[in-house]
């Protein structure tokens, strides 16, 4: 499934920005929800199953001949690992699911920004690499998210400041998606005159009679 960078940026901006508005308006409720997240089974099962399904789907789309014979076993094996994790590794289950989702989202972001012809695509690139680092750290040490949340929500000032900064970044993503990235996509979609074969002297060619 192909996605334009402009569409991705708007979706990411909305996904990041909307929770920050809640944090600014109701910091106490925001703190309580965040601190309860790392061990929440309500969040844990859906996130882990979603991450497992998404990973298995990505694996199914791969066409690497070296692993073709093993692919059916890999699909079943990774699917089983995800499901069994929900049964036997419930500790910090939401964090583990979130970590995998961050890595999968980073792949989507990097694949999507690759063909954009603007330096502003590096905003999405940088975000993707932050997700990669966070995902790897949280897969290995999921309890770090609990520590980060404790520090970020220690005071109302930290909550509001953090939410304001993340909201500002989200607004930037939406604006880039609606302006720079969209203009870049339109520019790439416009036919190149050299490609359509306009010869000098034809109308619109820029020649002496154009």
Is residue 134 one of the residues assigned to a domain?
Answer: yes
Q: Report the C-alpha gap between 167 and 160 in whole angstroms.
A: 10
CB 131 within 8 A of CB 106: yes
Is residue 203 one of the residues assigned to a domain?
Answer: no
Is residue 172 one of the residues assigned to a domain?
Answer: yes
Mean pLDDT of the chain: 89
Q: Which domain holds residue 50?
A: 5-188
Is residue 103 one of the residues assigned to a domain?
Answer: yes
Q: What is the pTM of this model?
A: 0.85
Residue 18 — pLDDT band, cuts 50, 70, 90? very high
Q: Each residue of 104-155: pLDDT tens digit?
A: 999 999 999 998 999 999 999 999 999 999 999 999 999 999 999 999 999 9
Is residue 94 one of the residues assigned to a domain?
Answer: yes
Is residue 209 one of the residues assigned to a domain?
Answer: no
Whether residue 21 is predicted with pLDDT greater than 50 in this model: the reply is yes
Whether residue 210 is predicted with pLDDT greater than 50 in this model: the reply is no
Domain count across the chain = 1
CB 58 within 8 A of CB 107: yes
Section 175-201 average pLDDT: 72
Is residue 175 one of the residues assigned to a domain?
Answer: yes
Percent share of the chain, pLDDT over 90:
74
């Amino acid at each position: 499934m192909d996605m334009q960078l402009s569409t991705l940026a708007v979706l990411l901006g909305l996904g990041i920005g909307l929770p920050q508005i809640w944090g600014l308006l109701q910091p106490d409720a925001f703190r309580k929800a965040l601190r309860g997240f790392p061990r929440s089974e309500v969040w844990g099962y859906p996130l882990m199953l979603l991450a497992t399904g998404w990973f298995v789907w990505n694996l199914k789309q791969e066409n690497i001949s070296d692993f073709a014979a093993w692919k059916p076993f890999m699909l079943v094996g990774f699917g089983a690992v995800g499901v069994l994790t929900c049964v036997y590794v419930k500790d910090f289950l939401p964090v583990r699911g979130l970590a995998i989702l961050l890595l999968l989202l980073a792949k989507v972001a990097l694949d999507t920004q690759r063909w954009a012809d603007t330096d502003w695509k590096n905003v999405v690139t940088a975000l993707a690499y932050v997700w990669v680092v966070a995902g790897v750290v949280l897969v290995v040490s999921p309890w770090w998210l609990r520590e980060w949340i404790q520090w970020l929500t220690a005071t109302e000032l930290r909550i509001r400041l953090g939410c304001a900064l993340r909201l500002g970044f989200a607004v930037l993503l939406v604006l880039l998606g609606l302006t720079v990235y969209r203009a870049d996509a339109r520019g790439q979609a416009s036919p190149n005159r050299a490609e359509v074969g306009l010869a000098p002297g034809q109308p619109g060619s820029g020649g002496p009679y154009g």
